[in-house]
Amino acid sequence: MGFMTTTLASTHPVETVHGHRVPTGLFIGGDWRTTDSTFTVLDPATTGHIADVSDAGAAEALAALDAAHAVRDEWRRVTPRARAGLFGEAYRLLRSRAEAFAAVMTAESGKPLAESRAEFNLSAEFFLWYTEQIAHLHGTYAPASHGGYRVVTTHQPVGPALLITPWNFPMLMIARKAGAALAAGCPVIVKSAKETPLTCALFVETLREAGFPAGVVNLVHTTSSSAVSAALMADPRLRKISFTGSTGVGSTLLAQAAPGILNASMELGGDGPFIVLEDADVELAAKQAVVCKFRNAGQACVAANRIIVHRAVAEEFTKRFVALTEQLRVGNGFDDGVDVGPIISARQLDGVSELVDTLRGLDSELLTGGNALPGDGFFFAPTVFRVNGRPTELCSRELFAPVATIYQVESTSEAIEFANDTRYGLAAYVFTRDLSRAVAVGERLDFGMVGINRGIMADPAAAFGGVKASGLGREGGHDAIYDYLEPKYLALTVDEEAGLA
């Protein structure tokens, strides 16, 4: 193979974050590089300085594509066992650095340390899942309809892939995307979120140390996301984009992908209906709703967005849900016993305050919270509103905040109708003791995923993704790697009488 090995240069730029050394440069063609311009990563819990990170422009992004394109043929020809061996070593190194990843995630994203550890564990399991799938990518063999030849279908890597990761789950998103792409044989250019670049850097450095060849994995950080993405997507050498983020940005990227007919996977916004039917286990539903709503301070695309409760249990559920919400402890994610960390930025915090002001102006009742918290950091109290009717200002709007809205319905059919009355279709949740009813309701919900009597459902073996304005494609499960592969049909002429005499 024509691969170069990579070694860590003595000038390698690093920053120490909570006792752990993290690269702060760009990783291109097997080398960590610096740029003349940098940007600052802030701790959202203290607003303090964490690190200064190299700031890429279009030129650096295209250099990363140069590197990925140069090794595309060599990487696709690496045998499944050899590729799986690299994955196995990377998984071993990842596991050995669990606390480093958790600390870096908590520092730059603000999420409680327990959540960061849980995210790391899930991310590592995704990477292990892809490791195990590499040797099990199969094609088909069949006779032609009228004989005379054989229909052989195989799969080949789509080519260099741009992976755009969000700030809310910085480890999970890069492990899930890069794991699938690299397992399929695609070299990658990762564009990190400017709020959380350090987790991505630590992940890429781990792959480098595991022996992934130069050019196969590239990483750029930037404050000019639109310019970087546009430059890459206008280049015909790029053959795949995978993006997780808002529906608005996803729509723009799809428009940019159209001229080059670029293969695109999109995991976009959500408007998760959380349905509690009259026969539900109310205690279980309330506990799961708190997790589903307030995990990562509500900053999740699969969060409970509209809590839709049957009138028969509405009062009981609401009382218990509010009580559990008021027990949540807000604070710095490194402090013991903290359940909810800060909002990611001052701009995002302003958006939460504006959302609450909107709710106050509607036919609604504030049950708890409703205010930013004093002191350093971007903290907002976990908030619950009871909402009457179906105000257009809220329906089909992703809250993305530690703000819960509870609605009341009179019947199961009304709950389904209300749940489906949205442009989004990512995740929905149903709570009922009747399994047949759960299946019947779940099948009628226009969402890519439905959690039944549970508020968390991400799993390496599951196909994660949505319908409608929530995206295209799936991450996880058997589908994930095939999102980075194209079927190839070989028509094989066969003399069916040859050698039979």
Which residues are catalytic, by number? 267, 301
Among 197, 193, 199, smallest CA distance to 120 is for 199
For residues 409 and 308, is the Cβ–Cβ distance under 8 A? yes
Q: What are phi and psi of 208, to 5 degrees?
A: -60, -45
Give the Cα separation of 332 and 348 in Å (integer).
17
For residues 31 and 60, is the Cβ–Cβ distance under 8 A? no
Among 308, 298, 299, smallest CA distance to 276 is for 308
Alpha-helical (H) ranges within 50-112 are 58-70, 72-77, 80-96, 98-109
For residue 5, what are its two tokens? 């090995």
Contacts of 451 (CB under 8 A, 6+ apart): 292, 427, 428, 429, 430, 457
Sign, CA torsion 453/458/462/465: positive
Give the Cα separation of 407 and 356 in Å (integer).
16
Contacts of 96 (CB under 8 A, 6+ apart): none
Chain-centre distance of CA 347, in angstroms? 21
Among 358, 364, 455, 355, smallest CA distance to 402 is for 355
Q: Which H helix or E strand runs over 204?
A: helix 197-210
What does the buried/exposed string (b/e) look like for 89-111 if buried means 16 or more CB atoms within 10 Å of the residue's CB?
bbbebbeebeebbbbbbbbbbbb
Strand partners, 15: 22
Residue 295 amino acid letter: R
